Amino acid sequence: MRRGARPRQRASCPAPPDMLNGIGAPAAWAILQRQGEAMQARFAARRDNLAEAERFRARAAEIPTVDALLRDRRTLSMVLEAFQLEGEVDKRAVVRRLLTEDPADERSFANRMADPRYRQINAAFGGRDGAPLRDPRLVERLIQGALVNRFEKAMGEGNPGLREALYFRRMIGGVASVPALMADRALTTVVRGALGQPAQFGLLSYERQRDFLASRLDPSAFGDAKAMDRLIARYLARAGEGAAQAPADPRLALLGGAGGSGALLTLTI
């Protein structure tokens, strides 16, 4: 090295996803906030994921009808993964309705369900004739959505709560109200955990859950990335503490237990 020359600094490389396994969700979340995009890109570029994407593209061009897609379990699974609905792969009658019914029909299955994922897949496929995967742009959207889902799932396998945190950060900006948040179970799980409510919170009536959340959340803050990151950090910290510190009866929490009335200020300012 020349005299007086500064030593060359190595470019920082994002940690491989498997290196985050078991380090604890809060620590893993801190790394993901800095390196998440690069880590996700590396995950998508893995040989197995690239091969699966290429197979999906090739198979998509060969499927002539929705019924043919329903018979191709592997291809159908990737379609459903793009909407976090892979658990529905064996519910053929339900999936068929989601893929064929008119999204504009208020009586359709998707529009009668609270879960927004049903309306999202119905909007992407429903009310159209012919080959369901004939649009290359839709095919690429499905591949990207499936790989994002797989990445988030992989993160959660190493550190419980991390999958929900990543999903929450990705989706919360599109939520405009407390009822809309409550329609998504994963979003509600993060908020419930951040506010210190036990799992039994879900046993309360819809109205009591809604009123409680509305008293502690400001929907205008859902679009504030920094406020939502603080909420996520609180959720992950509480998840790491374990359920033993939460009151066994959710009514005790609603009367001032964990996550009491000061939670809103902490989470949204």
Kindly list the domain boundaries of the chain, sorted by start residue. Answer: 24-155, 160-268
Locus of tokens 């801190």? 30
pLDDT range class, residue 227, cuts 50, 70, 90: very high
Which of 122, 133, 231 has the alpha carbon at shortest distance from 175?
A: 231
pTM across the whole model: 0.81
| 157 contacts 169 by C-beta, under 8 angstroms | no
Instruction: Indicate the helix (H) or strand (E) that contains 109.
Output: helix 109-112
Q: Domain 24-155: give its CATH superfamily.
A: AGR C 984p-like (1.10.3700.10)
83 CB burial (10 A radius; 0-12, 13-18, 19+) = buried
The helix/strand/coil state of 133 is coil
In degrees and rounded to multiples of 5, residue 42 shows phi and psi of -65, -35
Q: What percent of the chain has pLDDT over 70?
A: 82
State pLDDT tens for residues 56-89: 999 999 999 999 999 999 999 999 999 999 999 9
Is the pLDDT at 128 greater than 90? The verdict is no
State pLDDT tens for residues 162-215: 999 999 999 999 999 999 999 999 999 999 999 999 888 889 999 999 999 999
Q: Rounded CA gap, 55 and 228, in Å?
A: 37
pLDDT range class, residue 23, cuts 50, 70, 90: confident
Is the pLDDT at 229 greater than 90? The verdict is yes
